[in-house]
Amino acid sequence: MAFVRWRKNSAQLVATLYEQGRSRQIVLAPLGTGFRIPPGLQDQVKERFPHISVDWPAIARAMTKGPPGSPPVSVQEWGFSEVEYALRAWAKLKTPFAREADVLCQAADVLASWRARAYWQAQDNHTSGKE
Protein backbone atom coordinates (compact mmCIF):
# COMPACT_ATOMS: atom_id res chain seq x y z
CA MET A 1 0.00 0.00 0.00
CA ALA A 2 1.35 3.42 -0.95
CA PHE A 3 1.67 6.31 1.50
CA VAL A 4 2.84 9.94 1.64
CA ARG A 5 6.31 10.74 2.95
CA TRP A 6 7.28 14.34 3.57
CA ARG A 7 10.81 15.62 3.01
CA LYS A 8 10.75 19.11 4.52
CA ASN A 9 7.97 20.85 2.54
CA SER A 10 7.88 18.42 -0.38
CA ALA A 11 5.87 15.19 -0.48
CA GLN A 12 6.58 11.86 -2.14
CA LEU A 13 4.31 8.93 -2.91
CA VAL A 14 6.13 5.91 -1.48
CA ALA A 15 5.50 2.17 -1.19
CA THR A 16 7.29 -0.53 0.76
CA LEU A 17 8.23 -3.63 -1.23
CA TYR A 18 9.24 -6.95 0.27
CA GLU A 19 11.77 -8.97 -1.72
CA GLN A 20 13.50 -12.11 -0.46
CA GLY A 21 12.40 -11.41 3.10
CA ARG A 22 13.72 -7.84 3.11
CA SER A 23 11.85 -4.58 2.83
CA ARG A 24 12.77 -1.52 0.86
CA GLN A 25 10.94 1.68 0.05
CA ILE A 26 10.56 2.98 -3.46
CA VAL A 27 9.39 6.42 -4.53
CA LEU A 28 6.46 6.01 -6.89
CA ALA A 29 6.23 9.71 -7.71
CA PRO A 30 7.05 13.15 -6.36
CA LEU A 31 3.94 14.94 -5.08
CA GLY A 32 5.52 18.37 -4.71
CA THR A 33 4.44 21.14 -2.38
CA GLY A 34 0.96 21.92 -3.72
CA PHE A 35 -1.00 20.01 -1.04
CA ARG A 36 -2.77 18.16 -3.85
CA ILE A 37 -2.26 15.20 -6.11
CA PRO A 38 -0.78 16.55 -9.36
CA PRO A 39 -2.98 16.12 -12.46
CA GLY A 40 -2.38 12.89 -14.35
CA LEU A 41 -0.34 11.36 -11.53
CA GLN A 42 -2.86 8.62 -10.76
CA ASP A 43 -2.73 7.33 -14.33
CA GLN A 44 1.09 7.50 -14.40
CA VAL A 45 1.40 5.53 -11.16
CA LYS A 46 -1.15 2.90 -12.31
CA GLU A 47 0.77 2.48 -15.56
CA ARG A 48 4.26 2.27 -14.01
CA PHE A 49 3.33 0.27 -10.89
CA PRO A 50 0.19 -1.80 -11.64
CA HIS A 51 0.98 -4.25 -8.83
CA ILE A 52 1.01 -1.57 -6.09
CA SER A 53 -2.25 -0.64 -4.38
CA VAL A 54 -2.89 3.08 -3.86
CA ASP A 55 -5.79 4.41 -1.79
CA TRP A 56 -6.07 7.79 -3.55
CA PRO A 57 -8.64 9.33 -1.15
CA ALA A 58 -6.26 8.48 1.73
CA ILE A 59 -3.36 10.06 -0.18
CA ALA A 60 -5.47 13.20 -0.73
CA ARG A 61 -6.22 13.34 3.01
CA ALA A 62 -2.52 12.94 3.84
CA MET A 63 -1.69 15.79 1.47
CA THR A 64 -4.32 17.90 3.23
CA LYS A 65 -2.54 17.48 6.56
CA GLY A 66 0.70 18.83 5.13
CA PRO A 67 4.15 18.09 6.53
CA PRO A 68 4.69 17.16 10.18
CA GLY A 69 4.43 20.21 12.39
CA SER A 70 1.85 21.89 10.16
CA PRO A 71 -0.97 23.80 11.83
CA PRO A 72 -4.01 21.61 12.53
CA VAL A 73 -6.38 21.21 9.60
CA SER A 74 -9.83 22.73 10.09
CA VAL A 75 -13.03 20.80 9.42
CA GLN A 76 -13.60 23.06 6.42
CA GLU A 77 -10.19 22.18 4.95
CA TRP A 78 -10.91 18.46 5.39
CA GLY A 79 -14.14 19.01 3.48
CA PHE A 80 -12.21 20.79 0.72
CA SER A 81 -10.00 17.72 0.38
CA GLU A 82 -12.94 15.38 -0.14
CA VAL A 83 -14.64 17.73 -2.61
CA GLU A 84 -11.37 18.30 -4.46
CA TYR A 85 -10.89 14.55 -4.87
CA ALA A 86 -14.47 14.14 -6.13
CA LEU A 87 -14.05 17.01 -8.62
CA ARG A 88 -10.93 15.40 -10.06
CA ALA A 89 -12.68 12.01 -10.27
CA TRP A 90 -15.67 13.58 -12.06
CA ALA A 91 -13.32 15.32 -14.50
CA LYS A 92 -12.01 11.90 -15.56
CA LEU A 93 -15.44 10.45 -16.35
CA LYS A 94 -16.43 9.91 -19.97
CA THR A 95 -19.98 11.12 -19.31
CA PRO A 96 -21.77 14.47 -19.62
CA PHE A 97 -19.07 15.89 -17.31
CA ALA A 98 -16.36 15.39 -19.95
CA ARG A 99 -16.92 18.81 -21.55
CA GLU A 100 -16.49 20.52 -18.21
CA ALA A 101 -13.41 18.52 -17.17
CA ASP A 102 -11.11 21.54 -17.33
CA VAL A 103 -13.47 23.61 -15.20
CA LEU A 104 -13.78 20.81 -12.64
CA CYS A 105 -9.97 20.56 -12.45
CA GLN A 106 -9.70 24.34 -12.05
CA ALA A 107 -12.20 24.25 -9.19
CA ALA A 108 -10.20 21.44 -7.55
CA ASP A 109 -7.03 23.54 -7.93
CA VAL A 110 -8.74 26.46 -6.17
CA LEU A 111 -9.67 24.22 -3.23
CA ALA A 112 -6.09 22.89 -3.05
CA SER A 113 -4.81 26.46 -3.05
CA TRP A 114 -7.13 27.41 -0.20
CA ARG A 115 -5.97 24.43 1.83
CA ALA A 116 -2.31 25.25 1.22
CA ARG A 117 -2.74 28.93 2.06
CA ALA A 118 -3.13 28.29 5.81
CA TYR A 119 0.07 26.26 5.85
CA TRP A 120 2.14 28.80 3.91
CA GLN A 121 0.85 31.68 6.06
CA ALA A 122 1.85 29.78 9.20
CA GLN A 123 5.30 29.14 7.70
CA ASP A 124 5.71 32.84 6.87
CA ASN A 125 4.71 33.80 10.41
CA HIS A 126 7.13 31.26 11.86
CA THR A 127 10.11 32.39 9.78
CA SER A 128 9.45 36.08 10.43
CA GLY A 129 8.98 35.51 14.19
CA LYS A 130 5.33 36.64 14.29
CA GLU A 131 4.04 33.65 16.24
Q: What pLDDT sits at residue 123? A: 64
pLDDT tens figures, 53-84: 999 888 888 887 778 877 666 656 667 777 88
**For residue 106, pLDDT beyond 70:** yes
Q: pTM of the predicted model, to two decimals?
A: 0.60
Q: What pLDDT sits at residue 70? A: 74
Cα distance between the two ends of the chain:
38
Q: Hey, where are the domains in the chain?
A: 2-126
Task: Return the exposure string of 91-126: e unless at least 16 CB atoms fall within 10 Å of the residue's CB, then b.
Answer: beeeeeeeeebeebbebbbebbeebbebbeebbeee
Distance CA 48, CA 19 (A): 18
Spatial neighbors of 45 by CB under 8 A, at least 6 apart, are 2, 13, 28, 29, 52, 54
| Better-predicted residue by pLDDT, 20 or 126 | 20
Q: What pLDDT sits at residue 108? A: 84
pLDDT tens figures, 7-59: 888 899 999 999 889 999 999 999 887 677 877 888 999 999 999 999 988 88
Distance CA 5, CA 12 (A): 5
- pLDDT average, residue stretch 118-124: 67
**For residue 127, pLDDT beyond 90:** no
